[in-house]
Structure 1
Amino acid sequence: MHEMIRCYIGLGSNLDNPRGHVERALQQLADLPDTRLFGHSSLYRSDPVGPPGQPDYVNAVAGLDTTLEAHALLDELQALEQRHQRVRQERWGPRTLDLDLLLYGDKRIDSARLQVPHPYLCQRNFVLWPLAELAPELHLPDGQALSAKLDLCPMGTLERISL
């Protein structure tokens, strides 16, 4: 039996009823094999990052405990994106569902397919603030308190839209 690893997943959508995609994905994360959803943040509205002219995003962060290996978890997340008809056309372009593995325990992973901690974790308010809501006492793999990063990445136009 593998040990449970605490993971955090960033969710985002800005196409075809974004709130519905994020809410359904939160429910579907609870059904992943060898995984338990232990909580999630509120939903947030955020400005799009990337190509201009995109609709606003709905974002959240989910917390999972899993015995899946990191790349196996990534495979499950990408399969879930596909069930939401995710199309990868342009970098940071609009999407029905984006699932990012933000943290996988205290592990650091740098492979062709996966970087953990997520490389933009501390630069994106739509990731940092929901993560801090879900896990206010969290420390990053480098030992720094997540709460210390909030001052460096202000909430700006990010707004909570549901609990």
Structure 2
Amino acid sequence: MKAVLALGSNLGRRFQTLQGAVDALFDAPGLDYIAVSPVYETDPVGGPDDQRPYLNAIVIADTTVDAYTLLERAQSIETAFGRVREERWGPRTLDVDLIAVGDLVCGDDPQLTLPHPRAHERAFVLVPWSQVDPDAEIPGHGPIQTLLDGLDQQGVRLRGDLKLQGPA
């Protein structure tokens, strides 16, 4: 199954943290690299007004592990990079969100919601995703290109000077 993960950071060494997250995702078996998007600098959405901009990217992989195992891996990586959950939508060293896993839809589970409940309305997710998988669709919401047409993309800026590397 194809897995789509969103990476974000607005504290510390943002780019190095994103690269470390990409490396860590593929350190364990069960994920095969497909693509990593360009890096975008984005205005914070929600949370306190005094946050720094985020760096965001999308990782796409084939997975042989179930969605719960993938979620656990994502949360472990966040913890390894110093993620502290003090304030909803607050600043963070690293955010690794599971956006979609194949066509899996689960909304009744308090631990895991797929697809990600707000991905379809977030330009900072959809813009980078569209760069590496322009024909992608979010189950239950439609093609990402169509979803992007209805979103304000002004706060999403390409960082052409930053390029994440996939696993060696």
TM over 0.5: yes
Match of 1:8 in 2: 4
Letter in 2 for 1:30: F
How many angstroms apart in 1 are the aligned matches of 2:137 and 2:91? 31
How many angstroms apart in 1 are the aligned matches of 2:115 and 2:141? 12
Percent identical: 36
Q: Indicate conservation of the 8 Å contact 1:122/1:153, yes or no.
A: no
Letter in 1 for 2:101: Y
Relative to structure 1, is the Cα distance of residues 143 and 86 closer, same or farther in structure 2, using a 3 angstrom cutoff? Answer: closer
Matches within 5 A, 1:9-158: 9-49=5-45, 50-110=47-107, 111-142=109-140, 144-158=142-156
| Residues 83-103 of structure 1 deviation map (CA, whole Å, 9 limit, x = unaligned) | 101111000011000000000
TM-score, normalization: structure 2? 0.90
Q: RMSD of the alignment, in Å?
A: 1.2
Shift of 1:64: 1.3
Shift of 1:143: 7.0
How many angstroms apart in 1 are the aligned matches of 2:138 and 2:124? 17
Q: How many residues align?
A: 159
Structure 1: 4+ residue segments shifted above 6 A = none
Q: Secondary structure at the match of 1:38?
A: strand
Shift of 1:26: 1.4
Residue segments in structure 1 that go unaligned for 5+ positions in a row = none
Q: Secondary structure at the match of 2:159?
A: strand
Q: Indicate conservation of the 8 Å contact 2:25/2:73, yes or no.
A: no
Shift of 1:157: 2.2
| Residues 44-90 of structure 1 deviation map (CA, whole Å, 9 limit, x = unaligned) | 00011221101110000000111111111100110011110111100
Q: Secondary structure at the match of 2:23?
A: helix
